[in-house]
Structure 1
Amino acid sequence: MALISAILIALTALLHLGFLVLEMFLWTKPPGRSVFRMTAEQAEATRVLAANQGLYNGFLAAGLFWSVLQPEASFAFELKVFFLVCVIVAAIYGAWSVKPRILLIQGGSATAALVFVLLAS
């Protein structure tokens, strides 16, 4: 259970690193505009907001990696639960405010990881 949860947490962290790159560096480029179905004008108008959003995704990724690498078991457990719940809340809000698919894309691996973290404890 612990290995599966670590893999799912790492996957969630990697996804959030991908979101960081997409939102901070590719937002106004064709890949970013394609993912979010925006015109060049829309992307440029929201560029700063997207970069800020990407930065927050980077913080989530850092926290998730920290939780997996933390050697002290009880503190690692607290970090895992905290950062996974943060991701799940962000996914719920994103699904409600932007696109329902975000719940699965952003929240799916985090929810699975949280279940395995709790089962492993």
Structure 2
Amino acid sequence: MHIVATILIALIVLLHFYIAWFEMFAWESRGPMVFQNFPKDLFAPTKAMAANQGLYNAFLAVGLVWSLLIRDPIWAKNIALCFLGFVLVAGVYGAATVSTRILFVQSVPATLAIVAVLLSRN
């Protein structure tokens, strides 16, 4: 189960680094293609807000990378659970306030990873 947990965490890391890149650097160029219901004239004025959100996603990814680099298995598990919990909560909040799709993109993978981490041996 440890390998499954590591793979799930790595996939969540990649997802959050992608989200960070998207929100911080591609908001105005790719944003209108992804968020077609969002008025095109609002991408430029919301660029700083999106970049701020991207930074938070980068923090989540970095925290999960950190959990994979810790040699002490108990600490690694605790840090992974902490940052996976952050991802889970962010996904639930995003689903409640923005789009239910966020629940499946963020919260479901985080929940699966949490279960895998809890079932893995120290």
What runs of 5+ residues in structure 1 fail to find an aligned partner?
none
How far does the alpha carbon of each residue in 1:68-110 deviate from its partner, in whole angstroms, 9 at most, with x for none?
1111111101101100000000000000010011000112211
Give runs of ≥4 in structure 1 deviating > 3 Å.
none
Shift of 1:39: 3.6
In the other structure, the counterpart of 1:36 is 35
Q: Distance in 2 between matches of 1:6 and 1:53?
A: 25
Question: TM-score, structure 1 length as denominator?
Answer: 0.95
Q: Distance in 2 between matches of 1:33 and 1:111?
A: 30
> Which residues in structure 2 correspond to 1:82-93 (within 5 Å)?
82-93=82-93
> Which residues in structure 2 correspond to 1:1-121 (within 5 Å)?
1-29=1-29, 31-37=30-36, 38-121=38-121
Q: RMSD between aligned alpha carbons?
A: 1.0
Aligned residues: 120
Give identity over the alignment, percent.
45
**Which has more helix, going by share of residues?**
1
What runs of 5+ residues in structure 2 fail to find an aligned partner?
none
Question: TM-score, structure 2 length as denominator?
Answer: 0.94
Partner amino acid for 1:120? S
